[in-house]
A = this chain, B = another copy of it.
Amino acid sequence: MGFKKNRIKLEDIANKLNLSIATVSRALDQNPRVKQSTREKVIQTANDMGYMPNQIAKSLSSGKTNIIGVIIPRYDEPFFIEVCRGIDHYVSTHNYKILISSSRNSFDSEVENLASFERGLVDGIILSPTHETKTFSHIKNVINAGIPVVLFDNIIEEMHGADHVLIDDKKAAFSAVEFFIKKGKKQIAFIGGAKEKKVFKDRFEGYKEALNTYNIPMNQNLILHCNSLDRKSDNIEINSFFNSPQIKPDAVFTCTDNYGLLTMKTLLKLGYKIPEDISVIGFGDLGLADVFVPSLTCVAQPSFEMGQKVAELLINQLSEPENINHQKKVITLDTKIILRESTP
């Protein structure tokens, strides 16, 4: 702790006032066990001397750090930042702070981060698993060690043993594709990300089910799974996809806002009119979907709210008595389609 050794502590106040450390501690805590006049004297002196409590000592003694650890796959995705904002918003009203770590989309780093948090620095953990994460044991271990964990986004079956918050990706995709179908679209393209990622798999399921429900044959040429290393590679993949001669879509459902914007960029360069010639729907509704010309119709994902809910579940666990057997909780949030210029 980067402070000089002459930092004022309880002992200094106690010495100055000829009181015991315990009394000073209780006085500053507004504990009624110490006399009103003493309490005032202590508080006055503490202020005069510039006393600052030592959070670390407090934590060691009380067994609480009032810090929530948050592990996200990456910083540079507005979705995660928005969720963090939601978490921060909620926990700050409960006197908690958040410690954010990035797993940089690596399972090993996720395990490492978890272990680091397990060293007692945090009271609870919020985790968004990477798409590399196929197991639950590393999470289960933390839970078994008595540290509450809540998950969000990209939750696979195995992880249902932990509290979590998610959206119904399949349903959301279904409704977007259904929207296209009801507008009379027949050649609906799908642009998703790495197939191993749960959210993309689910959204693809929703796409297929919508086509199936309305008896529209699926055309493999209209389907693209980006590898999504970065925006530049996405751009290249999407470009060559639409430049292929087999492609004649009249609508495109994309699994992220970025894919949606890159798709529109590509289509505009190719001379398409949006939405007259072709419609586009994005997924997420963060960033600049509303700034682009034309603005992008989106499946809106309630990111901030998701953060709040995740935080709420965690704080609830933290305030439960230790011995009661925790009942697993799952919250599924609703999505909705925000209509803009990229669709008729």
Contacts and interface: CB of A to CB of B under 8 A. Distances in A.
A332 interface: no
Contacts of A63: 1
Given A52-B118, A291-B231, A292-B292, A2 B85 contact: no
Nearest to A290: B231
Contacts of A82: 76
Contacts of A290: 231
Given A60-B57, A145-B52, A288-B288, A120 B3 contact: yes
A97 interface: yes
Nearest to A269: B293
Interface stretch (A98-106, A173-181, A190-198, A209-217): A98-106
Interface in A210-267: 231, 235, 258, 261-262, 264-265
Interface in A82-139: 82, 84-85, 88, 97-102, 115-116, 118-124
A146 B118 CA distance: 29
A263 to B, nearest CB: 10
B98 A100 contact: yes
A53 interface: yes
A148 interface: yes
A84 B116 CA distance: 20
Interface string A47-77: 0000011111101100111010000000110
A339 interface: no
Task: Give the interface residue-count category, chain A.
Answer: 35 or more
Interface string A258-292: 10011011001100000000000000000110111
Contact of A291 (B57, B118, B265): B265
A330 interface: no
A57 B121 CA distance: 10
Contacts of A116: 97
A79 to B, nearest CB: 12
A75 B72 CA distance: 15
Contact of A1 (B3, B101, B120): B120
A81 interface: yes
A213 B59 CA distance: 60
B85 A146 contact: no
A67 B120 CA distance: 14
Given A3-B146, A293-B268, A119 B53 contact: yes
Contacts of A119: 52-55
Interface string A1-22: 1111001000000000000000
Contacts of A293: 264-265, 268-269, 292-293
The 8 closest A-B pairs by CB, nearest first: A4-B146, A55-B119, A1-B120, A3-B146, A2-B123, A2-B147, A54-B120, A55-B121
Given A56-B59, A261-B291, A265-B291, 18 more contacts: A1-B64, A1-B65, A1-B123, A2-B146, A3-B120, A3-B147, A52-B118, A54-B60, A56-B60, A56-B65, A56-B120, A56-B121, A99-B100, A235-B291, A258-B291, A287-B288, A288-B288, A293-B293
